[in-house]
Each structure stands twice: as C-alpha cells, then as structure tokens.
Amino acid sequence: MCETVSKNSMLPRKAVLTGLLLGAACIVFPSAAFAWPPEGGRGECTVTKTTNMAAKMRDGVILRADVYRPNTKEKVPVILMRTQYGKAAAQVEPARFQTPDWFASHCYIVVIQDIRGQGASGGTFYEYANDRNDGYDTVEWAAKLPGSNGKVGMYGSSYVGATQWLAATGAPPSLKAIVPSNTASDYYDGWTYEDGAFRLAFIEPWMAETIAYTAALNRGDKDAAAKMADANKEMAKWLTFKPYDKVPFFQPDDPKVAPYFFDAIKHPTDDAYWQAFSIKRRYDKVQVPVLAFDGWYDAFINGSLENFNGVKEKGATEIARNNSRIVIGPWEHLGWGRPESMVSPRLHDIGAVANSPVNDLSLAWFDHFLKGKNNQITEGSRVTYFTMGENKWHVSKDWPLAGTKSQNWYLASGGHAASVMGDGVLSDAPPQANTATQGQAHADNEFGNAVAAQKATAVSDEFTYDPSNPVPSIGGHSCCSWTSGPQGQFDQSALEQRSDILVYSSAPLKQAMEVTGQITVTLYAKTSAPDTDFTAKLIDVFPDGRAINLANGIQRASYRESLSHPTPVVPGQVYKYTIHVWPTSNLFKPGHRIRLEISSSDFPQFAPNPNTGEPFGTNDKWQKAEQTILHDAEHPSAVILPVIPAGLSGPALDAVPAG
C-alpha cells in the first residue's frame, strides 16, 4: 500500500541512522515543489518510493537502499548515490542536491543506498575499503532492477564522490557516467595528509561527527556514539590533544570504534596501505565520462583537477578520455553559493552569479549518456571556472589554461619581514636587481612594482616557530563547513601582526592581473630542528588594507623529496623546498597588492609539527625551531604565479554554459 507525502513527512535522518527503519514502505510523491530545492524544473513523471530494498554483495552482506521509481511503462536508466550520510538525507541539505524524487520525476529510477556498516545496511564499516567491490556489485544490482534499461549513472559529493570513483576504477559494465563533486584523487595526499602534514581540522571532527559516529549507531554501540557526541561539543579543545594515537573518544583500545583513524596515524607516508585505495593510480581503469564539480576553497580542489586531467589523458576508453569535464566555482566544501548555503560571509556576498549549476548540469549529463539525448552537454570547452575579483565565469579547453605565463615574484626585505609591520617586498625583479643601484630600474614596470632598494638589501629573514603557539587558521581550503573548520575567504590583516609570519607585498598594481592556475612557492630555508613545516599563503590586498586569502599550502621538511620515503633535515643546512600552494583564479585589480605570507604552522587546519623529528602522532613532546628564509642571488625564493595575458581568458559569463 502506498501513501502520498509532503516534504515535512519525509523519513527523518536520525531514524535512518539508527537503523530502525527496516520494514519496506512505498510513498508516492506529488508534483508539488519544496522550499528547498526550488520548485521549478520537475519532470513529467510522478514518482513512487520504496524503502530499504536489499542488495546482496558478493560476500553475502546485505546493503539497503531507497528506490524512487517513475511511473512510466518505458524502461529507464538508473541514477545511483551510495552514501554514509543517511539515504533519507540524500545530500539535499544544506542547499546541495535536488531531492531524489526530483531526479526521478525526469523519468529515472533513483537509488539511494546506505553503504556497508552505515544507516540501515549490514556489514562493518571501514573507510574506503569496501567501496570498490560494493560499488561494482551495487551498480550491477541496480542495472537489473525492474523497469531499468541496464544503464547506471552515479552522483554525490565528498565521500559520496569517493564511492563513485572507487566504483569506476572497478569498471562495472553497467556504469555509464559519474558526476562526483568535491572529492579527491588520493586518500593519502590531498585527503588525510597534505605534502606530509596531517589535516587535523578536517579528519578528526569529520570522523567524530559522521563516519565513526554513524557507524557506532549502526552497530548499536551507544557508548561509543555518546563519547563522540560529547567530544563534538568541545572539539576545539580536543584538536589540541596529543598524542593523536591516543585520542580518547576514538577509544584506541577498542578496534571496533575508529580503526581507520588510528591506521591513518600509523601510516603517515604514501605506502601500500593508501595505494590500495588510490584513484590517481587507476585512471586507466576508468571507462566512463566524468562531470566533476569543485570550489577554490574546497579541501579537494587539487585532487578534482588531477582527476580531470588523469581521465582526460589516461582513461580506459575513448568516451572517457573525450568527456572529462569540470566546473569550478568560488565555493567551499558545503557552500555552493546559494543563499541557503553555509558559506563564509565574503563568498556569500558574491551573489547569485556564483550559484552552483550542479543539478541541471548533472541531469543534462545523464540525459546524454544514459538516454542518448543530443543536448550539446559534451560540446564546447571542458573546463568552466569562476574568476574571483572579476566575479565572472570563463571556459577553457584545458587545464592549465593554454597561454598561461609563469611569472616569478621574488622575496626581498631589509631583513625585517616579520609581520605586516616589517619591510618584506615582493618584486618581479630577481634578487640581483634588488640593490641600491639596480632596484629603481624596475620602479616603472608594467605592474607598477617598485622595490624599495635602500631597504631590500638583506639576504634573509628569520622567525621563531613555537608549536605550543601555532599560527591560527583563518579561512583556507578544508572541510566541511566554515563554521566548524578553516575554509573560505577571510581578512588576514589582524593575523599578519604576528612576529612568526613573514609578509612580502608588491607595490600597488598599475593594471589588472589575472592569476588562474596552480600557485607554487620555491623557498630556500634552513631550520634549527631535525624536522619542521613551512607554509605559504597567497593574498589579495585591497586598497583599504583588507588582506583576503586566495590559496595556501604546506610542506613538511622531511617530505621535501618524497611522500613515501621521508628523510630528516640537517639542522642549519639550506634546502630548497617546493610548496604547492593550491590553485585559484583571481583578478587582482589596479591598486591592489599581491602578498605572500611565509610561516611554519596553520592550526588547526594542519597538525603543528613538533619539530622533534620523532614518528608522527606518537608523543606530545615539542621544541621551538629557529627558521631562516633566504632570498639572495644564490637562493632566489619566489612565488610562481600563473598569469593569464589580457584577453586570453575570453568572454566573461554570468552563468555556467550548458555546453
């Protein structure tokens, strides 16, 4: 027997998470719309919902899904979401995807499945480990559902994007397209760690609030769930707890609670443990077209771009290689531009031009690859990106953009670059030009940069890094919401008054300069410690003094040559470091300054390096480090900017084009 329901009577997420809804039910949705998502754009099919349909995996474990069926006599494709965040929630909030019945109203069977050990599904949850095989089995099960035409597409964001990539690398025959949003290319580098540094503010709260907590509910472990719920009430305190391999609310002595957290601490290098899950090592297994979405302030933007190029160059089939597409907005992980989004204030102020088109473009993608509609979704450029500052969309056939000019901006100072009150300078003139006789020759170059030659004559700057007093994270690329972690755009000017941040600024620009692409810092540095970190942050300084972060990066010194085989540094010896400051697209307007911050910590986004050289996460000892940054002719420390010549980026658009 079926019933018609409104939005307010939909099954609550909490009930699903506790695994109480094990009985089948079917619900008929009327065509009326909900407040969010917006009511427009529904298809012609009415929809019937059946809850908790069982799918048997190859090892006998039963996973359960809610299935939304269009009322049509024709056989139709399947759209699948595999989630650990609750199948009733279906990643609709906050202002993300349309409801499953919206997609189903366009005459698709929509399947929303709780993954293994989560929600109403059986088995034991372990991060990533089962999602390749379970994804394969679920795709093939969904393809055989009554009314299916045998073609399956997948969609979803974050870990739900990971479930798509892991399934795609397993190459199930019935999978024909995926649409992963905000997700990575690797679960070691760019997810759990970044160039050797542990992503503390993402991993610890995320696991405690979601995957470890909901897995505890699934297996009926009320005590473990309660401990994590209590920890979440004071997570700011727990982020200072060390050693990480003894975090109490994850109960290190109970292997059922969060074994994947402690395994992540035990495996701080890119070893076989992580490589078993890696996507970027398996692009040659991906057979399907990929439409990806991400944001400049998301935790996974670097990996999303790597995935785009990886499939484009190495995909297993011509259809995959020729149909890798990505859309990049000014977004955070959950903040997709819309008024209802949880987005940091400055990004919120951009307005409707920044709204994510994920639902309409996803539907068009599935219409083309699952239904064969000729809707131009695969025509035109393959990269659509939002340029901040200009606040317009642009398109490109490739990433990096063809015609990009790499431009070095060199660090210089009079030896006192510590804090914004110091004398740090960014110059497009190399260090040998930063002298009293040659520096003024660059006073009138095209960007209006003039080195204060009498001041910028020192060869280095110094600061003390104290792990017990790390530099606070204000904005950046992280997960999952700006209200609970460091992400998004924020004014850095107050932070720049710290003496452990070196600040290098250009003169006001005479003309606009577009920077779009991967930012890199070449840093010549020495430390008094056997291991340490170096951080870099690119800033857009407004004429009124606001200093808005664009991109940031970190490099653990011992990982400077290899993420698999770290080597300690010799205290006092100069090393060349490459800091991967993450990609961005920004128009620096006339009168603005380019600024680079250099320091050694960014907490809690990254776990502070204790400077001891001891194994990561196993002790609570620390020591101060004396850091020296060199910028003379033999050590030309610089930020390398991908500058787009005027006119090269093409028309400025107010919306993402369909094709």
Buried b (16+ CB within 10 A) or exposed e, 356-393: bbbbebbbbbbbbbbeeeeeebbeeebbbbbbbbbbbb
Considering the candidates 106, 333, 592, 635, report the single residue annotated as catalytic. Answer: 333
Amino acid at 418: A
How far apart CA 612 and CA 526 sit, in angstroms, is 15
Helix (H) or strand (E) holding 141: helix 131-143
Helix (H) or strand (E) holding 224: helix 222-232
Q: Is 473 a catalytic residue?
A: no
Q: Are strands 547-556 and 533-541 parallel, antiparallel or unpaired?
A: antiparallel
Q: What are phi and psi of 20, to 5 degrees?
A: -85, -20
Considering the candidates 189, 298, 540, 602, report the single residue annotated as catalytic. Answer: 298
**Under 8 Å between Cβ of 213 and 197:** no
Q: What is the DSSP letter of 17?
A: H
Helix (H) or strand (E) holding 309: helix 301-314
**Under 8 Å between Cβ of 537 and 639:** no
How far apart CA 103 and CA 86 sit, in angstroms, is 18
Q: By C-alpha distance, which of 398, 340, 327 is closest to 656? A: 327
Q: Is 158 a catalytic residue?
A: yes
State the burial class of residue 641 (Cβ atoms within 10 Å of its Cβ: 0-12, 13-18, 19+): buried
**Under 8 Å between Cβ of 629 and 411:** yes
Considering the candidates 157, 158, 481, 506, report the single residue annotated as catalytic. Answer: 158
Which residue numbers are catalytic?
158, 298, 333
